[in-house]
Amino acid sequence: MLNYTPSIPRTTVPPGDYTARVYAKGFRTISDDGRFGHDLYHLILWPGDIHQPHVLKRYPNPLPCG
């Protein structure tokens, strides 16, 4: 579900290949409709070659299926 909120900070990323690290927490606080919760996300990007994904920890159903 996409949820546009104007108050969320945005930045421009120049075109190119990037490596990304994503941190997320609070999946169990998300409401059944997926709109509310105390979930937090932190994304770090840096220029680099494309590599196969490496998952450090995976949750079977991080978001409610509603």
pLDDT of residue 44: 93
The model's pLDDT over 14-61, given as tens digits with 9 standing for 90+, comes to 999 998 888 888 888 888 887 888 988 899 999 988 888 888 877 776
| 8 A C-beta contact, residue 5 and residue 36 | no
pTM for the structure as a whole: 0.58
- Confidence tier at 5 by pLDDT (50, 70, 90): confident
Spatial neighbors of 1 by CB under 8 A, at least 6 apart, are 34, 35
* Domain residue extents for the chain: 1-66
Closest by Cα among 21, 28, 61, 19 to 44: 21
